[in-house]
Amino acid sequence: MRGDTAAALGLWGEEQVAAYIKDLGGAIVETRWRCRFGELDLVAQRGEYLCFVEVKLRKSDAFAPARAFVTGSKQQKLKVAAEWYLAQHPTSLQPRFDVAEVYAPLGRGTSQPEIIYWENAF
């Protein structure tokens, strides 16, 4: 992934997951929503759910699966940010937390990154 900045790769990974969600019939509600408590990579509607999607992009899973980097402290930060989001955007949809792993051995040069999507991950 040499030559790609972390921010550019992160945005690219989020775009890949957004396209994946749309292909499954979902809709992207927000991208990179920020508040003082943190950032939500993607907020998506999938059926009766409002999904707070954490995207993790890695070259491979040789060290550990990408989802392993959504630690307990990261989960807590996401929950607080999601509570803040819901306070500002009331909805009748059921909230849930999903994790999307994106594996791109060549960074943005990867033509078909592998996406593993975990519904209700925590």
- 115, 20 Cβ separation under 8 angstroms: yes
Q: What does 95-112 look like in DSSP terms, one character per residue? A: EEEEEEEEE-TTGGG-SS
Residue 88 lies in a domain: yes
CATH number of the domain enclosing 109:
3.40.1350.10
Report pLDDT digits (tens) over 26-65: 999 999 999 999 999 999 999 999 999 999 999 999 999 9
- Residue 1 in domain: no
The mean per-residue pLDDT over the stretch 102-110 comes to: 95
Task: Please answer whether residues 67 and 48 qualify as being in contact, where contact means their C-beta atoms are separated by less than 8 angstroms.
Answer: no
Q: Is the distance from CB of 113 to CB of 88 less than 8 angstroms? A: no
Flag whether pLDDT at 4 surpasses 70.
no
- The pLDDT confidence band at residue 5, using thresholds 50, 70 and 90, is confident
Q: Which domain holds residue 106?
A: 6-118
CA separation, residue 61 to residues 1, 20, 105 (Å): 14, 20, 10
The total domain count for the chain is 1
